[in-house]
Structure 1
């Protein structure tokens, strides 16, 4: 299965030469002199312009997940907390975070519409022509929605991710923040 570096393409903060918070704080502050990253700045930093509505919604949801205190900004502490979770968190922590990302209406369940919306957004951002969002959604719900109610509970989501490799692979792509780390470290979008 997937180890603690899930989503980081085998890299970690230590692998990239950043062995302490001072280094990352210096890099973060050089990109965000105010110490706070707004949604607009987040999109600009990641070179995410002219996205469709689904991609915009996904980026907004990711931003909101990082904005722990819900003040409309990602500060350094929130940034480090997010990076630590994604790079070093346990699998169950990562899956719970991912579940919250999908659960747009925060009712503790993911319906097909919420799931499809995220998959379409990921598809749009990654320009991934190999994955048909509608077919993938149907496949996941057929395999993972054990009680057939058309919604995924956290338990079904975690069990499905642990038992279905294609579902786990998709979650791994969602949690891959290595490009974000490289952009903040190097100051430019990676190709």
Structure 2
């Protein structure tokens, strides 16, 4: 089974359990907590080594996870999910599980995520206008992540899934160059 399929199974199981009435947590809170834990795991070499090492007993890993869950204020469902993932030696897939969880949650909520690269930082008004325009084009509510790309001369480039909307000066120049060379 591929790592994507495994990550998808875990993400789906977490989303289904969190979505149950009376779980006490929202799906968005679980996502935030997964991101928090994943970030901590990636930033601490020692923690990464302890939790992923087959030489460390599972009981020790659970103690460490339990203490971290308490310190981070993780919901019981998220804590127990991390216990299961660790027990099945899938903690190395936590990043992929989090990404699949986010994709499944977005699908459930009818959201699309976009990655926006700009030549200069956008104002909040520009971000709102861009998200409204993208929502109109896609027919879905948008959540955008923004980054400044120093290689762009001006304008912006937006990636929604596998679709790229390139309104950058560089993109326009490349398009012009292709048209000119194909006509010559």
More helix by share: 2
TM-score exceeds 0.5: no
The structure with the largest strand share of the pair is 2
Q: Name which structure has the greater RCO, CA cutoff 8 Å, separation 6+.
A: 1
